[in-house]
Structure 1
């Protein structure tokens, strides 16, 4: 466990011999949050939260360490839970934990929000809670986690190039620890947020996931209306105890008559607010089924390989790609690659320099159809627990099933630094198409455009990868990227489906000149 004195952000001492505090960026009931720099990672920004209570009891400090490790393990499983990196206890007994720094806004500051945005954010919140409630494996045993303090102030909304807005849940496991620590220290006290606490939480009972579902119901009501389901005479414990135990929540239609709310959402929120846990939805899965059935497209994708706005202005040729075209007949399928429908990235040497390319093998007939497809690409980078880049290319045609070409790049591998640097330097990359049928020859080269914004980010990610410490958790990062990849597929398809046919036709005519002699 790290032992370090709490220091003012105006002093030069390092916290845990590693973190330089810069400024206070948040304060709440649980403690204070500082922006800091991780000196060991070249000044990478992080957020450090100091809990409000001071604990000198060694057992409580040990329990905090266990809770922090559990929360950190959970944060590696879901994109919708703020990533936790480190923890410690200061010389004064103040527990702290280190988490990713995110430049977002609290959900509390965005309320009320329109229905389409509500559906997007509520779904992501539920995905994070679902992951926690399903539990994490510790020494072969599954431990479900309950948040115990779900409220708008504990939900961060961050701009995201794929989802438009990415939800991050804060303070997982911390409410449980503080409640335990206060009880252990004083043998009394309630720790939580009264307007969002379930009836069983106010009673001090052992909680399960259905308590979080109740708090979620309060928050969803507030997200849509801007007010809470009850308005007690005071904010004291007794008034909220009465409201949660005995008072019927307001009707959403009465609070906001102009809100055209689907009946399924109204019924869902009211069922979450049931007094008895057995009368609420019994899992986040049940809630997600309702939200998934109603969610409409509400997303933003940064400039990419193809949009109705940029496609007509993209020049087709370049010296590098023309050189690749001339070499098509010379390309031979690598002996170390199986003869099957696969895709892999590879650098190609040309007289003009190296260029990153995708090599793919498909049936000859499909290649002939795919050369007229829309092309779309997306890049997703993750730094922790292991630096990895997901490079996705999509060949899209309204008459065919979408052909996804994902490549996961280990960004601890210097060869991949060179590959991604090439992507960043060139406005397009080629797709080298080989036939599945013998003699497995290269028959076509098509290209995909990389937007300048994407190329700039690729440069940043390469440099960031070079500065990160070694890690061994490659598979965990790959799992996290797969989760985000699965979430973005339907949104990308809806985006491409919205592009007019005339744009697709113009692109097809341009691509046709890339078809090479057999």
Structure 2
């Protein structure tokens, strides 16, 4: 459908992005409007599901080619993981279904619900990325693009058809109006291939007519025919064959039905903790939001002994006299026996402090280079009972004091969250810690160095407004990671 380029977003501190230029060239304004509408819907969808690649921008080039900008993900195509071991198969299929289900349920834009059908589900459109919590994180690519390309032609033929023939539903090949059951058919083809390494049909040629005949009239092979040694739960075998039904009414009617069956499968492999092949083990550069699983920490005893002096130093702090007595948050360098560390001071009522004593903590940082270098540091406290508590800090990176604060963050695995009571005498009631992943610390160090050579600007507020826009998107992403972590809870105390 086009070409994909690796690029850097200079406005957001040089982070890597992927830009896809579609092969089709626009010749009229209406096509540009249609593309803008589809791209806007897809961008909104990508903020709703962790399992759909995030779209951050879109437009049309000077020569009329539409493009859209996506997050850059370092992983493997699902095509490269076929055949797939059963435990990984179940985990990957479940995440694919969750992403598709979100799209099929629709996106609310300006009060109207827009359901999306992918129309081109296949292994090369599924990316599997190492993840510190899930083991593997599944991302669906190219949502809505197949629909956009198809709507630009009125007749579906072997020349104008947009899709991938081995994975197309019979109704898609007929050019009929599609619903979610068409994606379920494509999912069935892909699940069959994931387990067996082959497609359910083997037509004589790869031309449109041969695949049309296969999808409409030829029964699919059975998994047992292709691989007699593969022992599958009967429920799973029946599910895949049901997804491959010629008539949409004979398939599962929605992804909820598929998910229910996948989650009911209780093979020994599915019960165990899933692990990736060595080629997909998490690397330091992959996490988008740092929510470490427990293996990322040293043993509890070493954490307590190492960080006890930091807690003791924080407990001695007084609320700064130049700060108002209200619910605010700000960073401050804290002197300890081991040197200065950056702490996050916040004031809350004693009752609210107790609510977040055993909360999950995670963080993320965003940096803009222009018009004025500025960093957004976001800490999230999350309680299953009380929900999220957001702690954002905007730091002017042309300020030398902020350089010291960020440099300290880059040098330490953790920073203290220092809770002061809103009630008099405004004492330090608790100290918690938040972990910073290695890749984030490396990026912070890079940003400090970069900001020193960047020019200052009088448009500091504009940079802050840009970060506020990113903050809204970031909140959704961080909450999705918290939800995806399930029962993993970070409750490490100093």
Aligned: 1:336 with 2:326? yes
- d(CA) in 2 for partners of 1:443 and 1:291? 46
Please state how far the C-alpha of 1:428 moved relative to its aligned partner.
4.1
After TM superposition, the score normalised by the length of structure 1 is 0.71
| Runs (5+) with no aligned partner, structure 2 | 276-280, 285-291, 369-374, 455-462
Find out whether 1:298 has 2:269 as its counterpart.
no
Verify the 8 A CA contact 2:132 2:293 in the aligned structure 1: no
Question: 3-state SS of the aligned residue for 1:85?
Answer: strand
1:345–1:356: 8 Å Cα contact kept in structure 2?
A: no
Residues 216-227 of structure 1: pairs in structure 2 closer than 5 A = 216-227=187-198
- Distance, in Å, in 1 between the alignment partners of 2:349 and 2:387 is 11
1:65 equivalent in structure 2 = 36
- Change beyond 3 A, Cα 1:184–1:260: closer
The answer as to whether partners of 1:146 and 1:208 remain within 8 angstroms in 2 is: yes
Provide the residue aligned with 1:501 in structure 2.
none
- Gaps (5+ residues) in structure 1? 1-29, 338-343, 395-400, 497-506
State the distance in 2 between where 1:225 and 1:383 align. Answer: 45
Q: How does 1:411-422 map to 2 (within 5 A)?
A: 412=394, 414=396, 422=408
Q: Which deviates the most, 278-287 or 53-62?
A: 53-62
What is the root-mean-square deviation of aligned Cα atoms in Å? Answer: 4.5
Question: What's the offset of the Cα at 1:104?
Answer: 2.2
1:310 alignment partner in structure 2 = 298
Once the two structures are superposed, residues 3-30 of structure 1 have per-residue CA deviations (whole angstroms, 9 ceiling, x without a partner) of xxxxxxxxxxxxxxxxxxxxxxxxxxx1
Residue 129 (structure 1) aligned with residue 125 (structure 2): no
Partner of 1:243: 214
Cα pair 1:56 1:92 within 8 Å, conserved? no
Partner of 1:426: 412
Alpha-carbon separation, structure 2, partners of 1:323 and 1:228 = 63
Aligned to 1:231: 202
Q: Select the residue among 146, 156, 170 that pairs with 2:127.
A: 156
Aligned pairs for 1:429-468 within 5 A: 429-430=415-416, 455-456=441-442, 459=445
Distance 1:323-1:109 versus aligned 2 partners, 3 A rule: same
Give the match for residue 356 of structure 1: 343
CA contact (8 A) 1:305 1:450 kept: no
Which residue among 144, 154, 162 is the counterpart of 1:183? 154
Deviation at 1:390, TM superposition (A): 5.8
Counterpart selection for 2:486 from 482, 486, 489: 489
C-alpha contact 1:232 1:243 (8 A) present in aligned 2: yes
2:274 corresponds to 1:277: no
**Offset of 1:148 from its aligned partner?**
0.7
Deviation at 1:408, TM superposition (A): 3.0
From 89, 107, 112, give the equivalent of 2:78: 107
Higher normalized contact order (CA 8 Å, seq sep 6+, divided by chain length): 2
> Structure 1's 258 and 388: CA in aligned 2 closer, same or farther, altered over 3 A?
farther
- SS of the equivalent of 1:132 reads helix
Cα deviation, 1:464-489, whole Å, max 9, x if unaligned, reads 99997715544443233212211113
Q: Which moved more, 1:75-84 or 1:425-434?
A: 425-434
Aligned: 1:87 with 2:58: yes
Residue by residue, what CA displacement relative to the aligned partner does 1:431-474 show, whole Å, maximum 9, x if unpaired? 65789999997566566666656644555688899997715544
Deviation (angstroms), 1:419: 6.9
Q: Tell me the distance in 1 between the aligned counterparts of 2:446 and 2:197.
A: 39
Could you tell me how far 1:351 is from its partner in structure 2? 4.2
**Could you report, residue by residue, the CA deviation over 1:134-156 in whole angstroms, capped at 9, with x for unpaired residues?**
11223321111111111111112
The change in CA–CA distance for 1:206 and 1:63 in structure 2 (over 3 A counts) is same
Aligned partner of 1:480 in structure 2 is 477
**SS at structure 2 position matched to 1:56:** coil
Q: Compared with structure 1, are the counterparts of its residues 389 and 224 closer, same or farther at alpha carbon in structure 2 (3 Å cutoff)?
A: farther
Local SS of the residue matching 2:154: helix
Deviation at 1:226, TM superposition (A): 1.1
What is aligned with 2:312? 322
Give the Cα–Cα distance (whole angstroms) in 2 for the partners of residues 97 and 436 of structure 1: 47
Deviation (angstroms), 1:335: 4.9
Partner of 1:117: 88
Aligned to 1:408: 390
CA contact (8 A) 1:389 1:411 kept: yes
Query: Which range moved further: 143-152 or 285-294?
Result: 285-294
- Per-residue displacement from partner, 1:208-239 (whole Å, max 9, x unpaired)? 11101111111111112111111112212222
Per-residue CA distance 1:381-439 (angstroms, 9 max, x = gap): 6789xx97664679xxxxxx989996534365659998766544434444657899999
Task: State the Cα deviation string for residues 181-227 of structure 1 (Å, max 9, x = none).
Answer: 23379997322111000011111100011101111111111112111
- Give TM-score, length-normalised by structure 2: 0.74
